[in-house]
Structure 1
Amino acid sequence: MTDVNDRLLHARVVNDIRARIASGDLAVEKRIPSTAQLVEEYGVSISVVRRAVDTLKNEGLLQGQPGKGVYVIATPEQVAAERRSLESLASEVADLRTDLQALTKRLDSDSHARTVATEVAELRSAVEQLYARLGYAYPTSDAGTPKRRHRNTGT
């Protein structure tokens, strides 16, 4: 019963903080209340508050700054717009990969193989640059999904 209760409390805290961010009550670039303040405000345990904050960090709404606190970095609307933008970009990348595969197949039968090879190399370079701009490593096989690169290390 406690596990179900904790999940309900967690959802309530997450939804309330998310709503406060959306309304501007907790503004972008501003620090949210401390864990102790949130515990007192919501009347829940520290673990419930920490899980709620972690959930909102994973959603891209909050970011912790060691020794300083946790800050709002985006509104739910901004995160949704970015997600839609990334989905659109991913679709474009998929289209480019399809074009690249088609050009590669043409290489085998095309009498202008050198020209096509140059076009393929340029297209691949453009796709690799697009992946890099998105912070992803270019996949080495068609079966794999893009892997997120670490922001600071580029690996």
Structure 2
Amino acid sequence: MVEKSGRPAYLQIVDDLSEQILRGTLAPGDALPSIAQLGERYDVSASVIKSAVSVLRTQGLVVGQQGKGVFVSETPPATGPADDIDSEVLAQLADMRRTLKELGDRLAALESTVFPKPKRSR
């Protein structure tokens, strides 16, 4: 059953099924329970289950076979390239932050030149 935690129900289901796959409770080649069974287990509608299964497919954890069902993937998704992409994205973000800080400093200097602070009279 999903919790009312603010996290969408389909993502809670993804977390639970992913954990079962990674632990081996659902082994490679095993069929997932039907949409109706999963809906009953988690107490949600079929559309919520379909959304969760779609995420699992995108992650490469399950594969669908038309007319047969959804099965745990025989080959786990590769994690190496994703790690490389993550590192590259983080490096780009750090570079963007440096550039934004430099631009902010330059803007502050320009504003202080154009709009000098009035002198206080004593």
* TM-score bin, normalised by smaller chain: 0.5 to 0.7
- Give the superposition deviation at 1:83: 3.2
Greater length-normalized contact order (CA 8 Å, ≥ 6 residues apart): 2
Q: Tell me if structure 2 keeps the 8 A contact 1:6–1:48.
A: no
Which has the larger helix fraction? 1
Structure 2 CA distance for aligned equivalents of residues 50 and 5 of structure 1: 20
The residue number in structure 1 matching 2:62 is 62
Amino acid at match of 1:32: L
* Distance (whole Å) between structure 1 residues aligned to residue 56 and residue 74 of structure 2: 10
If you compute each CA radius of gyration, which structure gives the higher value, 1 or 2? 2
Does residue 83 of structure 1 match 2:79? Answer: yes
Counterpart code for 2:79: R
Query: Is the 8 Å Cα contact of residues 31 and 70 (structure 1) preserved in structure 2?
Result: yes
One-letter code aligned to 2:64: G
State the Cα distance separating 1:11 from its structure 2 match: 1.1
The aligned amino acid for 1:50 is: K
The DSSP-based 3-state class of the residue aligned with 2:33 is: coil
Q: CA deviation at 1:23?
A: 1.1
Percent identity (aligned): 38
Once superposed, what is the RMSD of the aligned Cα atoms?
2.5
In structure 2, the residue matched to 1:117 is none
Aligned length: 81
Name stretches of at least 5 consecutive residues in structure 1 with no aligned partner.
89-155
TM-score by length of structure 1 reads 0.47
Q: Is residue 21 of structure 2 the alignment partner of residue 25 of structure 1?
A: no
| Superimposed CA distance per residue, residues 49-90 of structure 1 (whole angstroms, 9 cap, x where no aligned partner) | 000000000000000001100000057xx32xx2305777xx
State the one-letter code of the partner of 2:14.
V
* Runs of 4+ in structure 1 over 3 Å off: 4-7, 85-88
Cα separation, 1, equivalents of 2:50 and 2:6: 12
Amino acid at match of 2:55: T
Which residue pairs with 1:91 in the alignment? Answer: none
* Aligned mates of 2:50, 2:70 — CA distance in 1: 11
Within 2, Cα distance between the matches of 1:86 and 1:55?
16
Task: Find the aligned partners of 2:19 and 2:45 in 1 and give their Cα distance.
Answer: 20
- In structure 2, C-alpha distance between the alignment counterparts of 1:48 and 1:6, rounded to whole Å: 15
